[in-house]
Amino acid sequence: MIEVRNLVKHYGDVKAVQDISFSVKNGEILGFLGPNGAGKTTTLKVITGYLSPTSGNIFVDDYNVIEDSMEIRKMIGYLPEMNPLYHDMEVYGFLEFVARAREIDKNQFRSRLNDVIELCGLKGVVHKNINELSKGYCQRVGLAQAIIHDPKILILDEPTSGLDPNQIAEIRGLIKNLGKEKTVVISSHILQEIQATADRMIIINEGEIVANGTIDELMSDFKGKTRLTLELKNATADSVKKVQSFQDGILLSKYEEKDENVFAVLEYPNSVDPRQDIYKYAVKNKWVILEMSRHKTSLEDVFRNLTIEGGSNNAK
Amino acid sequence: MRNNFSIIYRREVQSFFSSPVAYITLVVFLLINAWFFTSTFFLINESDLRTLFSVIPIVYIFFVPAITMGLIAKEKNSGTMEFITTLPFTDGEIIVAKYLAALTLLGTALAFTLVHFFTLLVVGNNIDIGALISGYFGLLLVGGAYAAIGTFGSTVTDNQITAFIISFLIIFVLFILDKILIFMPGFLSSILQYLSIDYHLNNISRGVIDSRNLVYFGSLILFFLLVSVRILEMRRWR
């Protein structure tokens, strides 16, 4: 349905997006995850025709953004980042304006308006001025504006930023609902957001895709990794290093001496559990174990690994 | 296609008239014109609107940039530019519809000055109706040209004050050109004279509607609107 091919976008000297390719299937909710400034918004802006690619192209069905931007725009409902709205208009007038722009005739508009009011929970604010609305309601108006023409594709750029937890939960529910029949691309720098809404996610960092897969797939890439944090007394570097040879796959990823204590972090696959051995070994060497805590890799760690530590070798 | 113009145009006009600033600008425009016109009208004791026709282009220099400064700059500033340009509108439709909306406000302001026209009809005699009509036609043309410049000024920046100043400066230069001709060498002066707005306006105000003047105003409007569209398109390639 949407296919991004070798997309490059530079702003002057700034390379915002560097040669990324991916596709979004029909009816799929794709999460676009990355830290701020990773190139998510830029990519979405190229899809929606606000920006043109420096090179590469994006195909939507049989159209491409360079030649048929207008056709693609008609198929898309777009909620831009920061949700810009005409604050001098009434909600009704604003939605009517968008509906007219989307070639919805008067009779259709009535029924669409009712649907959208129902769906986005806009009852009671339809005849209010947009500048009187709270941020949560503004976001709903933004969403209503994006879906009023019942688009096949919905592009939502940071749809829950600046909302309180209740509103976030509501908007996520709404997106999940819409995703049942539409192709949705949702961007966020918050992992839980993508986890809560998307079927598949693409992690992007510094303009490059670092991971692409379902949440389970990405987790399993990192599965098998358990992190054991140790704080020891009376331990020496050499003796601690020997722990690595207990079983296959154990790795001493951090070693630090502070005052009289030793801090060490071990990483090993889930199939292995060296804790008993470590205990026995500690007794033999007269270590005092002050702390031993196990920590399984969460998706958050995956995200951090992929983006902050580069992690491009983990990309698929 | 044509429908898109009217959608953008209607929103723009509504937004103009829902803001108190538009009314304040309108009232100030009318008061200044009325004061200049009526304070000398009975002294001069002639049945024409010549004072009005010479004052309005000067007031325009401030008035037109004031109504056009927000056209594009405001949308850029508030981020709605991204919203409107990702709707299925072409950049040309956006510029022209907005320009026409500004022209509508200008026309409304001009329509209110017809009060003076009717006053003249009542108190004057031997009135040259033809000259009055061509005078108003000239004012519309000048307003149209200024509004195109104002649209351009609003397109190059996202700050309304900057937009005002840019438009004001361009308009002012075109306006003053006619007055500094005596300082210019001969070969330049005829070129500059052709470029000056006053030269063409004077012809029309006198009741002479020459195609040369129409071409001048037409190409001025076309030029600035085209450049505006190009600038708007440039955002894609920043």
DSSP character string of B64-124: HHHHHTTTTHHHHHHTHHHHHHTSS--HHHHHHHHHHHHHHHHHHHHHHTHHHHHHHHHH-
Q: What's the pLDDT tens digit per position in B186-224?
A: 788 888 888 888 888 888 887 788 888 999 999 999 999
ipTM, two decimals, is 0.89
A175 and A269 part of one domain: no
| pTM, entire model | 0.84
A309 pLDDT more than 60: no
Are A93 and A164 part of one and the same domain? yes
Residue type, B132: L
Residues A95 and A60 in one domain: yes
Does residue A79 or residue A247 have the better pLDDT?
Answer: A79
**Residue A112 sits in the same domain as residue A182:** yes
Domain stop point among A180, A214, A248? A214
Does the distance separating the beta carbons of A74 and B85 come in below 8 Å? no
Does residue A306 belong to any structural domain of this protein? no
* pLDDT (mean) for A161-167: 83
Q: Are residues A166 and A247 in the same domain?
A: no
- Asked if A51 lies within 8 A of B236 by C-beta distance, the reply is yes
pLDDT at A224: 58
Q: What is the nearest CA distance from B199 to chain A, expressed in angstroms? A: 41
User: Which pLDDT does position A308 carry in this prediction?
Assistant: 64
pLDDT digits (tens, 9 = 90+) for B29-83: 999 999 988 888 877 777 778 888 889 999 999 999 999 999 999 999 999 999 9
Are residues A143 and A268 part of one domain?
no
Residue at A122 is within a domain: yes
Q: Does B203 touch chain A (CB under 8 A)?
A: no
Q: Domain check: are A162 and A209 in the same one?
A: yes
Asked whether residue A149 falls in the same domain as residue A242, the answer is no
A315/B230: higher pLDDT: B230
Among A15-24, A70-79, A186-195, B156-165, the range scoring the smallest mean pLDDT is A186-195
Give the dihedral sign, CA B97/B101/B106/B107: positive
Cβ under 8 Å to A: B residues 62-91: 78-83, 85-90
Nearest to B146 by CA among B211, B84, B208, B221: B221
Q: Residue A295: pLDDT band by 50, 70, 90 thresholds?
A: confident
Same-domain status, A93 and A234? no
Position A302 in a domain: no
Alpha carbons B34 and B118: distance in angstroms, whole number: 13
**With pLDDT > 90 as the criterion, what percentage of chain A qualifies?**
43
Residue A235 has pLDDT above 60, yes or no: yes
Residue extents of the structural domains in chain B = 2-237
In this structure, are A199 and A270 located in the same domain?
no
* A170 plus A259 within the same structural domain: no
Beta-carbon separation of B86 and A80 below 8 A: yes
Phi and psi, residue A313, nearest 5°: -70, -15
Bridge partners, residue A203, by sequence:
A33, A211
Q: What CA–CA distance (Å, rounded) separates A19 from A38?
A: 13
pLDDT tens-digit series, residues B111-158? 999 998 888 888 888 888 888 888 899 999 999 999 999 999 999 999
* One-letter amino acid of B84: I
Residue A113 maps to which CATH number? 3.40.50.300
Same domain for A153 and A274: no
Structural domains of chain A, count: 2
What is the layout of strands, in order, in the sheet containing A29-33? A76-79, A153-157, A183-188, A29-33, A200-205, A208-214
Facing residue for A88 by CB, picked from B15, B81, B86 = B15
pLDDT band at A228 (very low <50, low <70, confident <90, very high): confident
What pLDDT does residue A166 have?
86
pLDDT in tens, A197-206: 898 999 898 8
Residue A117 has pLDDT above 90, yes or no: yes
Taking CB atoms and an 8 Å limit, are A70 and B11 in contact across chains? no
Shortest CA gap B70–chain A (Å)? 13
| Residue range(s) defining the domain that contains residue A291 | 224-296
**Strand order of the sheet with strand A2-11?**
A14-24, A2-11, A55-60, A63-64
